[in-house]
A and B are shown apart, each in its own frame.
Chain A
Amino acid sequence: MTQASAETATTDANERPIRVLIAKPGLDGHDRGAKVVARALRDSGMEVVYTGIRQTPQMIAEAALQEDVQVIGLSILSGAHLGLFPRVIKELKSRGVDDVLLFAGGIIPDDDIAEVQKIGFKGVFGPGTDTHDIINFVREHAPRRS
């Protein structure tokens, strides 16, 4: 009975703001771009967990798990994306975090974009991207929580 009465009175878990993790894997220390994206997502009504620079794949995956984010955006300028991104994916999988939308930004050469998308990053946004494109992308593709 409690179950039934609770059900009529509540919304489901989908009506909450989208939660996004923005992180910078690797050793480069410039996070202007990551902060611009974090802020744009915030201003569009999302809740953005920002972890700061120099994150290991383990730290990113663990933060995504604890925060139960729907979306992870990684920013990288160092050129180590093909080394680090697969490790992030591996760490996420080992924790059972398999229902998140991944996107990447920063300096990712055109030749590498197909590979980055193949391993699971649905969106890749380079320099000069309009933040509205990122907001629309996240809104469209963020998995719903149920």
Chain B
Amino acid sequence: MDAPELVEALVAGNRRALARSITHVEADSAIGREVLRQVYPRTGRAQTVGITGSAGSGKSTLVGALAREQRKRGRTVGIVAVDPSSPFSHGAILGDRIRMQDLTGDPGVFLRSMASRGNLGGLSETATGAIDLMDAAGFDVVLVETVGAGQDEVEVATAAQTTVLVANPGGGDEIQSMKAGLMEVAQIMVVNKADLAGADTAVAQLRALLAIADLQSWIPPILKAVARANEGIEEIVDAIDLHQAHVRSPEHAEAERHQHVRGQIIDLARAALHREALEAAERSGSLQALVDAVAARERDPRSAALELLDGLRRSWASSNDFNS
């Protein structure tokens, strides 16, 4: 199927067209780009929710529980579940379906697993593309799950309108470290596995961190949950609904939307630039020469980076000449 056919089928609710479109977006193919361009005007209807937290914090289980609760409320759910690629083989085991087996037979649910593909993979581009495709395909809610480690993963979670941060009892040091990055981006905090000792301490730590955060118009609620036992899930969905109402309210919608889209454009441009710069550097062989020189302490890494950029600018300039 070509791009217009894919778009037509996808918008009509054809699941195979949606699946194949995501494949094209993951491959960054010409068809994938065209499909994204054509469906974008049809996006914006779905609640998009990012769920992030460290490995083992219970994200997959929580996503499954949230999806079930959304289904109970009569909403259809698209899920993008990101697992890390091996930095050595670039392969990946994508195991999120294990915790959502019961959802596989539900026609109101569509789950796509995705490998993070490391630095060159363009995770933000592919995952946000998949979110847009699910939105355009008519899913009421799109949940995207990523490990909250590494800039790409965090960007994906924050590309959603509502970002949920998952923490655990006993993760004191981990919560301390969140000060640096994740605190600012989360609109809802969940202490999962709250049946374990230390849940109240974790809540108190998060509250203390929030007290020193630079909050705008929304105060992030801190909720306790036991996703495995389906406890506290309704409250999380209620909080998501509240935040969605907040970002879509007349007094905030315009500013939120502009801020959100601005961040998205910059993230996507940064990711594309990063990829292009690395590819160009690898292609020209200039990177290796610079690495050798800096490793031998014949020059410093900062001037080497600037020289790499200069080379990139020159190659862009010459390719523009070629085009015109």
Contacts and interface: CB of A to CB of B under 8 A. Distances in A.
Contacts of B115: 17, 47
B20 A68 contact: yes
Contact of A2 (B26, B37, B90): B37
B23 interface: yes
Contacts of B92: 17, 42, 47-48
A48 B91 contact: yes
Nearest to A23: B97
Contacts of A7: 30
17 contacts: A2-B34, A10-B28, A10-B33, A11-B29, A16-B23, A42-B89, A45-B89, A45-B91, A47-B85, A47-B92, A49-B113, A51-B97, A59-B105, A65-B19, A66-B19, A66-B104, A97-B16
B91 A41 contact: yes
B104 A59 contact: yes
B105 to A, nearest CB: 6
B34 A52 contact: no
B222 interface: no
Interface of A: 2-3, 6-7, 10-17, 38-39, 41-52, 54-56, 58-59, 62-63, 65-68, 95-97, 145
B112 A67 contact: yes
Contacts of B139: none
B31 interface: yes
Interface string B10-38: 00000110011011101111111110010
A2 B36 CA distance: 13
Q: Among B19, B34, B91, B95, which residue has the most Cβ atoms of chain A within 10 A?
A: B91
Contacts of A50: 93-95, 97-98
A65 B16 contact: yes
Contacts of B27: 11-16, 145
Interface of B: 15-16, 19-20, 22-24, 26-34, 37, 85-86, 88-95, 97-98, 101, 104-105, 110-113, 115, 117
B105 A49 contact: no
| Complex A-B, nearest 9 residue pairs according to Cβ-Cβ distance, in ascending order | A42-B91, A13-B27, A52-B98, A68-B19, A7-B30, A68-B23, A59-B104, A49-B94, A45-B91
A47 B94 contact: yes
Given A47-B115, A65-B16, A6 B34 contact: yes
A45 B29 CA distance: 20
Contact of A48 (B93, B111, B117): B93
Nearest to A51: B97
Contacts of B86: 42-43
Contact of B15 (A14, A54, A65): A65
A49 B95 CA distance: 6
B89 to A, nearest CB: 5
A114 to B, nearest CB: 31
Contacts of A145: 20, 23, 27
B138 to A, nearest CB: 15
A6 B93 contact: no
A62 B93 contact: no
Nearest to B19: A68
